[in-house]
Chains A and B, each alone.
Chain A
Amino acid sequence: MEVKETYNGTIREVTLGVGDKAVVVGGETALSFYTFEGVMPRKPVIAFDVYDEEPADWPAPVVEPYKDVLGDPVKWALKCQNEYGADMICLQLVSTNPTGTNRGAEEAAQTVKAVADAIDIPMIVYGTANVEKDTEVLAKAAEAAQGKNVLMGPIEEDNYKTIAAAALGFQQAGATHSPIDVNMAKQLNILATQLGLNADRIIIDPTTGALGYGLEYVYSVMERLRLAALTQNDSMTQMPIINTIGKEVWKAKEVKVSTEEEPAWGDAETRGIIWEAMTAIALLMAGSDILVMRHPKAVELTRDFMALMA
């Protein structure tokens, strides 16, 4: 006997970017890839990480594909778009980190504008999760990217008012970030919508953990968000989900250690790529709609998987 679950909720569709290359995410009426129980109208999209300054801590295998463009976010973004077939660019404003380069909001906004003007695929703009600095930086970034319909984040409980207001004022979308907690994710969405940000302008960032670093925890929280959205028709959990995978995977010890240091662990490049793809695939199953990734080969593997499942 075939047992099917019936759902009564739908994930909202959110449009990001403008023009021909705009993407729509969400729209599922069943758990991801449960196409025998409902509709998954489109595949999740993959955004490529682009840093606004030369990254200091990326392991060699993931530096390799970008070695000619690191330090030039415009060229970097174009390379992801033109050579690696990125669906989106995720511009990480790491240079604004107060404990790092501590670049000012104005300067960061110039980078945002330069990248946004150069590419034609949609853009995500992420701060450094420093609550105070992000407030300043993302408000400026929202202005700089006016008319581009970008996704801005992370919006936290402590700064949602300003960032959500900036998103509202400059017609951008927002990624609400909560620390692996269904109720807090929901509460932040309630707060942001009460402020005036429409529910179909919100993406949930539930916090991402890499394989071996809390992946199962994230998985279960995402699954619970999805079940609440689909089976309980809980409006404040019915937003698409974003996972910042690259950032988490490529700092894991098992990924950073070189082949020479641990020959028994196998080739470092293959190891890193598989680690990133495995994390991505697990989170796809849990309900991810936007995967932010790094290694082009890991992206390829993830896309192969999606093709198999669809």
Chain B
Amino acid sequence: MSKIIASAAIRGAHKIAKRAEESLNNAIQQKGEAQEVGFPDTAYFMPIALALLGVKVKTLGDFVPVLEKAKSMLPPEPAEHVWLPYLGNTLDAGIATILFEEIIEAVKYITGPNPVDGIWLGATDDVILRMQGIKLVDGSMPGFAACVGAMPTNAEAVKLANELRERNILVFMFGETNGKSMAEQLAEEGVQMGWDSYLVPYGKDITAASYALGFAARSAMTFGGIAPGGLKEAHDILLYNKNRVFAFVLALGEVDDEKYATAAGAINYGFPVIADTDIPQILPTGICSYEHVVSNVTHDKMVETAIEVRGVKIKITKINVPVPYGPAFEGERIRKEQMFVEFGGQKSTAFEYLRMRDLDDVENGKIELIGPDIDKMPEGSAQPLGIVIDVAGRKMQQDFEPVLERQVHHMINGAEGAWHMGQRDMNWLRISKSAKDKGFNVKHFGEILLAKLIDDFPAIVDKVQVTLYTDEKAMADLMEEARQAFIHRDERVAGLTDESVDTFYSCTLCQSFAPNHVCIISPQRLGLCGAYNWLDAKAAFEINPAGANQPITKGDTIDERLGQWTGVNEVVVQKSNQSVQNISAYSIMIDPETSCGCFECIVAILPVANGVMIVNREHSGMTPTGMKFSTLAGSVGGGAQTPGFLGVGRQYITSEKFISAEGGFKRIVWMPKELKDSLESQLKKRGESIGIPDFFDKIADETVGTTEDEVLAFMQKVGHPALEMESILEFSV
């Protein structure tokens, strides 16, 4: 901590101590120790003294021990030659300061001047506390800003107040700069103030800060269910504020000693200070979630900076587009006749690319269009479109880029008259004529992505900025960057092996209809529905820690070949409601994984052919098992463990871990042609990697036959490797 700040804060605390002592002594002389003291309509007595010391102050006399306790916390001002012992001392000075300030304000209620005067509201009663507190807890009011001092001009004060209010942030005002306070500036401009308008003028004296911090302490006692008492409770109350009350201090204008001291009090709550003057910064994290004091911030950046430093999350309630928006429109198709303009779909160059940036490199809410907008595009034409989404977040990870990028599809489809398909540089978008008539333009893609990303992923996304390119030349570089990133991502996924991680994820999304089924998702085996791979599950857990995807520590290896680990089995027992004891990640014969019923494909053994066949959900014809997909599904689903049968996602088929316990990929003897074709390149690549480049052609399909005998004859003709392998039935024991 800066020595300058420490010295100033400690000096300020001493000054306020003196004021408190004088005013208390004075009041006791006038009214006696028995004089009752209290703020109006509250059950929390003097809230700061109650929260931090567990003392219920009812009379002036009760204040004496509070004053003494606070005085005992006052550290001496650091001497010239001492350079280190600041943080603890300064924080103590801060706590003492706000206790003193509360005494000063409470005494004003007895001896005057009355804190409720003109625009000034003084203490907050319990009813308001509760109604406002609900908004703080449910997130509709993300936090409060304690504005200390005044802005250089009235117009700037109004602008700051509005910037905060637009984000539903409650504005507390107290203190003054050169005789002026922000609340007075607003009053001069005729701005309505009060709780309903989110503008709360507490008092002109810096000591009115105690109302704001008392409010915060009471909200912890009310909503955090913390009964005040000793030190531990005081600690919990401060911690509750740090974790749940997203407040920050905006220090406007010159920061004097008393303001430093008060700010030190706020830092104890985890409320950081953002200053517009050039005071020393305190950047390392510790008491606050992130930085403690950030200074020299220009007025137009103050709110943004504060939001970022405090980690405030703001909900966007309405998406700013001229067409209806909602899941109801996701299934809407836009046919050629209805289309005004299209992008991509092999008719023009297009791509979409979401990248993680540093917090400083993203201007939240910025949407930029480079190139012509829809009004310059001929009807029925195909135009180039590059969508670049820059995302920054304290908890954002590069691994989440593809997870978020894939959301572009359903986000854009939610708008009536906008349609999206594909991904990456193979995307395809359309805007309908009627949407264009209603005023929908290219920039609105940005509005949608911005609002939805912030709203749906608050846990990982703090800031979003979208750049849209309709000028093909301007987007060339970024398209190249995107392509490189796609290659890099694919390599990353390919390089992810089950051995390289120690955490898998469970998925219980389907337990509503398959109560005993749990999917185990590992890097090399995605969920059987094909919708959740390991990265998705990892992101899903980060986004919703109480959700259906929970991390599993693999634990000790029980059997490497089968893919059994102690940690995984424990989770399976628990999440399957004790109905399944062991799971093999890599075996179809011994303790195979169960299925809910959502599998993309079913793998089934063909004993005569000594291999397995795979049938996809879309295939309605007969298979060599003698059963169609629908019949097979009946015996595979429902959370039952059925050796010889497995429900899988398509991408698992070409995984190195595909039933590797029984010999893996080489066991595949039959697939419907459609499935085979759709996976052609991956199957061929996998064949090459196991040293059988023509393996693709050795897999039979329905054109070869739909009985095991026909398949066997074909295998013998082409020399299928499964014929040389040990009997698949051997594995069942």
Does any Cβ of B come within 8 Å of A297's Cβ? no
Does any Cβ of A come within 8 Å of B133's Cβ? yes
Number of A-B contacts (CB under 8 A): 64
Q: Which A residues between 156 and 183 are near B, CB-CB below 8 angstroms?
A: 161-162, 164-166, 168-170, 180-183
Interface residues as binary, B492-524 with A (CB distance below 8 Å gives 1, 0 otherwise): 000000000000000010011001000000000
CA distance A164 to B548 in the complex (A): 22
Q: In the complex, are the beta carbons of A165 and B137 less than 8 A apart?
A: yes
Known: A165-B223, A228-B577. Contact between A181 and B512, CB under 8 A? Answer: yes
Q: In the complex, are the beta carbons of B127 and A168 less than 8 A apart?
A: no
Q: In the complex, are the beta carbons of B225 and A168 less than 8 A apart?
A: yes
CA distance A228 to B577 in the complex (A): 8
Q: In the complex, are the beta carbons of B137 and A195 less than 8 A apart?
A: yes
Q: In the complex, are the beta carbons of B133 and A165 less than 8 A apart?
A: yes
Q: Of B131, B139, B546, B577, which contacts A161 at CB under 8 A?
A: B139
Instruction: State the Cβ distance, B620 to closest chain A Cβ, in Å.
Output: 30
Q: Of A162, A184, A196, A228, which contacts B223 at CB under 8 A?
A: A196
Interface size class of chain B, counting residues whose CB lies under 8 Å from the partner chain: 20 to 34
CA distance A191 to B508 in the complex (A): 17
Known: A183-B508, A190-B546. Contact between A166 and B223, CB under 8 A? Answer: no
Chain A hits for B508, CB < 8 A: 183
Q: Of B134, B244, B574, which contacts A169 at CB under 8 A?
A: B134
Q: In the complex, are the beta carbons of A143 and B127 less than 8 A apart?
A: yes
Does any Cβ of B come within 8 Å of A47's Cβ? no
Does any Cβ of A come within 8 Å of B337's Cβ? no
Chain B hits for A139, CB < 8 A: 131, 134
Chain A hits for B140, CB < 8 A: 162
Interface residues as binary, B139-156 with A (CB distance below 8 Å gives 1, 0 otherwise): 110000000000000000
Known: A182-B511, A196-B225, A198-B225. Contact between A170 and B130, CB under 8 A? Answer: yes
Does any Cβ of B come within 8 Å of A90's Cβ? no
Q: In the complex, are the beta carbons of A143 and B548 less than 8 A apart?
A: no
CA distance A162 to B137 in the complex (A): 7
Q: In the complex, are the beta carbons of B137 and A194 less than 8 A apart?
A: no
CA distance A227 to B576 in the complex (A): 13
Q: In the complex, are the beta carbons of B577 and A184 less than 8 A apart?
A: no
Chain B hits for A196, CB < 8 A: 137, 223-225, 244
Does any Cβ of A come within 8 Å of B138's Cβ? yes
Does any Cβ of B come within 8 Å of A232's Cβ? yes
CA distance A182 to B510 in the complex (A): 11
Q: In the complex, are the beta carbons of A169 and B547 less than 8 A apart?
A: no
Does any Cβ of B come within 8 Å of A187's Cβ? yes
Q: In the complex, are the beta carbons of A168 and B223 less than 8 A apart?
A: yes
Known: A162-B140, A228-B577. Contact between A184 and B512, CB under 8 A? Answer: yes
Q: In the complex, are the beta carbons of A183 and B512 less than 8 A apart?
A: yes
Does any Cβ of B come within 8 Å of A224's Cβ? yes
Residue of A nearest to B513 (CB): A181
Residue of B nearest to A163 (CB): B138
Does any Cβ of A come within 8 Å of B727's Cβ? no
Known: A181-B512, A196-B223, A228-B577. Contact between A165 and B134, CB under 8 A? Answer: yes
Q: Which B residues between 222 and 251 are near A, CB-CB below 8 angstroms?
A: 222-225, 244
Residue of B nearest to A194 (CB): B546
CA distance A198 to B512 in the complex (A): 26
Q: In the complex, are the beta carbons of A182 and B547 less than 8 A apart?
A: no
Residue of A nearest to B137 (CB): A165
Q: In the complex, are the beta carbons of B222 and A224 less than 8 A apart?
A: no
Chain B hits for A228, CB < 8 A: 577
Q: In the complex, are the beta carbons of A165 and B138 less than 8 A apart?
A: yes
Chain B hits for A162, CB < 8 A: 134, 137-138, 140
Residue of B nearest to A220 (CB): B515
Q: In the complex, are the beta carbons of A183 and B133 less than 8 A apart?
A: no
Q: Of A183, A194, A198, which contacts B548 at CB under 8 A?
A: A183
CA distance A181 to B511 in the complex (A): 8
Q: In the complex, are the beta carbons of A187 and B546 less than 8 A apart?
A: yes
Chain B hits for A190, CB < 8 A: 546
Query: Which 5 A-B pairs have CB atoms at the shortest separation, nearest pair first?
Result: A161-B138, A165-B137, A162-B138, A169-B130, A190-B546
> A161-B139, A180-B512 provided; 9 other pairs, C-beta below 8 A?
A139-B131, A143-B131, A165-B133, A165-B134, A168-B137, A182-B515, A183-B548, A224-B515, A228-B577
11 A-B pairs with C-beta separation under 8 A: A161-B139, A164-B137, A180-B512, A182-B515, A183-B508, A183-B512, A190-B546, A195-B137, A196-B223, A232-B577, A232-B578
